[in-house]
Structure 1
């Protein structure tokens, strides 16, 4: 099992460590500098650098452990897949001293993970029983205090810029582009004409859906595609949708005014964001050139608001946000709770596309997913039975190895005692020097042979212990899934725990991706008769 373990080095750079986009990040904190530092350490300490896999979080704060790379790394640790973790310094791993201490003092030792922090001169394998843990705890606390202090200072500085009318919100919105002067935006004439037309159409009483359709028929480039051509790396949507049009109509920035604070973080280092009601939002007027007048903005919004219908809070649907169109990648919707079919609404804005064929009955979908979950549970149940047999065999083998190790240690102790007896006989004159040296060499040779045998036996025992531990972890994880065997009803909580997404294709087939994976396989596609019947519906 130890052969399956991997070695990793972790890199992190947050916005608090330097503004990457402005090119002012200090070299000591950069991802490149961290990587070079770690590779130099690996070379100097005779590690095989090519055996280490890199995991990086670029642009994430160290006050929270909720980072994509960190989540992946900790998940590998919990599955006993990690042997070594190396970081440049402890602040790259975490700035929260309680969380950092928890992993270093409890989690990593429990899973046999060696943790190395280069600049802190910390190596858990060499720590032993000394008091370096206290020094590390103090460094963790200082890192957290420093991170919160610098975050507050940066936030205060950015807030002042916002209140003075500077544009410090990242990418310029569709219809604008960054100005030559720092923290300013100017009108992008080509995109601004589209924005102006959208507001004029809305003010004339044209619905959002009709506006999206007009834009698609005219083959107008969507905001995301347009921004990608300017910014480069940007998630794109090729079709105008209800949301893309509504977001433009709801954005007050086109009037030349700026709303600096639409939400705020509950506390430094928290992921919780609280929205500020629109009537309480502060407006900074005339911060940049306007695309439309304020009168046109309010007129368009009045028309939109008059079209809204009050909705009763529906019962939570287990498939909400999980169904994905196999053509465009958008989420499927059902419009009304009483509707029987889930559909892709993209075809409303782009007539003639294959999205029109993406349609699936909820009752049939429920039947397929229930059956898929039950099949998966049965496969996991069979796997657990096999793992129990392997675990029982491993435990028996481990007991044999323990007995062998005890026997070898006793034999080594006996030889050492015999060597001491011969030495005492030599000192007392009962044994000549020549005979003493001969007996000593003979005993030492036997002792070396026994020590080699003991080393091999201990290594095998360690491997068996790791196999037993890994098997127990896998069985525990699988048992949680098996609890859902023979279920008869889907709930939002159950679906959120088990299913990542369900792709619905135009031919009526579906593809289920699970949140968990095992030796059976990560993804099981289902192409049943039920799915094929949907072609004719």
Structure 2
């Protein structure tokens, strides 16, 4: 792997250091940073002070740059500039000013219909069902047809449809009355794509910055018919470790959890869109948790087994190094003897005790032998000086979950990607970092086959 410099690979100096000193050597990956003159094939480059300081400086620089960029964006937002990369449904970006919005009449008519039906007293799911029944194309598909390149939300089905949550989101959006709203979410770490919600009181809201799609009177009428808005704190409760991670295997949407004591998950898509034959049966949360725990334990046991193999391989390499050192001593002694023999040949040639033909023949044989020994010595010196591998961080992570008795919110955020539930009861459980575990296992398998 070749990068222009270390900062192009990563700017978190702890993560970069872990990859350079542990992950890449284990996977047999050679990492080269051209501008920094770094090459992982040279052991002295990996843990040098120069490399450590470079990664630390890149980290500090990126954090300082991030603060300046945030400050500049905030100042622009306060002046009413629209800074989001994509225009909201119902608007398009002004071709002459990317920070200004223009009304998209086709989509805007749908937005007006949504607000009017809400003001008439319809619930959000009833509005969504009506739009689906009338064949109104969903915002996602509408934008794709218009050429939008935004990465679509996770969904099993390519066709998207209106949902109650989406309708509710539009009804709460003040941008439809001409306001620019900035700062609803913020990234919680430099270089991270993960964002956290910001309190409504801290949003930047500037009025009359673009043409409104609905009047303020209609907007307020729709709000009056909806449930009162209550700002919820970021979820920190540990009793919902599966929140937004249980997916319907038919429609691809998140399944809803009921709030009962014996909680269960169900899919509400069927009442919104009759085209999907989602099952009516509720899936007990306890069954999903048991399946997830069982899967985690399987990979935790894999990690324990891999760790044992790594320890065995490390022990074998230590034995190999000791044997290499003994062979080195023997070969160095032989090389010294050959050096002495070659010196004796020179003396015999000078004193006339040896003919030139005999000298040349013996010298050629001794030189060839010395070159062969030198190559072997170089290889043995490399083996003898190789460092012991530290425990793999990925393996240690999974090992720490061996024997857990409950799925907490923290473990779920760390390990669980999704649980897809199908009508026949089958669950497809996707864990984070599983591909890396399987790659480690395959690497060890290949090494055992070639040993």
Which residue of the other structure, out of 416, 419, 441, is the alignment partner of 1:502?
Answer: 419
CA distance in 2, matches of 1:149, 1:386: 43
Match of 1:491 in 2: 408
Which residue of the other structure, out of 187, 199, 206, is the alignment partner of 2:115?
Answer: 199
Is the partner of 2:129 in helix, strand or coil?
A: helix
Match of 2:445 in 1: none
Q: Is the 8 A contact 2:183 2:202 kept in 1?
A: no
CA distance in 1, matches of 2:396, 2:426: 30
Match of 2:177 in 1: 255
1:87-102 → structure 2 map (5 Å cutoff): 87-94=3-10, 102=17
CA distance in 1, matches of 2:177, 2:104: 14
CA distance in 2, matches of 1:140, 1:441: 54
CA distance in 2, matches of 1:139, 1:172: 37
1:41-190 → structure 2 map (5 Å cutoff): 86-94=2-10, 102=17, 114-123=30-39, 134=50, 137=53, 141=57, 145=61, 158-183=73-98, 184-190=100-106
Q: Is the 8 A contact 1:100 1:140 kept in 2?
A: no
Match of 2:336 in 1: 413
Q: Is the 8 A contact 2:250 2:422 kept in 1?
A: yes
Identify if the C-alpha distance between structure 1 residues 370 and 152 changes in structure 2 by more than 3 Å, giving closer, same or farther. closer
Identify if the C-alpha distance between structure 1 residues 266 and 197 changes in structure 2 by more than 3 Å, giving closer, same or farther. same
Q: Is the 8 A contact 1:358 1:508 kept in 2?
A: no
Is the partner of 1:507 in helix, strand or coil?
A: coil
1:173 CA displacement:
0.9
Match of 1:56 in 2: none
Q: Deviations over 1:242-288 (max 9, x none)?
A: 22111111111111122344456689768786755434544322211
Match of 2:205 in 1: 283
Match of 2:447 in 1: none
CA distance in 1, matches of 2:188, 2:295: 41
1:457 CA displacement:
5.4
1:110 CA displacement:
7.0
Match of 1:54 in 2: none
Match of 1:295 in 2: 217
Structure with more contact order per residue of length (Cα contacts < 8 Å, sep ≥ 6): 2
Structure 2: 5+ residue runs without aligned partners? 154-158, 442-451
Q: Deviations over 1:441-466 (max 9, x none)?
A: 3422331233344456567x47x969
Match of 2:147 in 1: 231
Q: Is the 8 A contact 1:186 1:289 kept in 2?
A: yes
Identify if the C-alpha distance between structure 1 residues 110 and 394 changes in structure 2 by more than 3 Å, giving closer, same or farther. closer
Q: Is the 8 A contact 2:16 2:55 kept in 1?
A: no
1:103 CA displacement:
6.3
CA distance in 1, matches of 2:414, 2:11: 29
Q: Deviations over 1:374-401 (max 9, x none)?
A: 5555566566666666665565455444
Q: Is the 8 A contact 1:216 1:350 kept in 2?
A: yes
1:195 CA displacement:
0.6
Match of 2:373 in 1: 450
Q: Is the 8 A contact 1:422 1:431 kept in 2?
A: no
Identify if the C-alpha distance between structure 1 residues 92 and 391 changes in structure 2 by more than 3 Å, giving closer, same or farther. closer
Match of 2:131 in 1: 215
Match of 1:243 in 2: 165
Match of 2:239 in 1: 316
Is the partner of 2:256 in helix, strand or coil?
A: coil
Identify if the C-alpha distance between structure 1 residues 425 and 178 changes in structure 2 by more than 3 Å, giving closer, same or farther. same
CA distance in 2, matches of 1:87, 1:322: 35
Q: Is the 8 A contact 1:87 1:93 kept in 2?
A: yes
Is the partner of 2:97 in helix, strand or coil?
A: coil
CA distance in 1, matches of 2:148, 2:53: 42
CA distance in 2, matches of 1:408, 1:268: 54
Q: Is the 8 A contact 1:359 1:506 kept in 2?
A: no
CA distance in 2, matches of 1:482, 1:94: 26
Is the partner of 2:89 in helix, strand or coil?
A: coil
1:348 CA displacement:
3.3
Normalization by structure 2: what TM-score?
Answer: 0.75
Identify if the C-alpha distance between structure 1 residues 498 and 251 changes in structure 2 by more than 3 Å, giving closer, same or farther. closer
Is the partner of 1:249 in helix, strand or coil?
A: helix
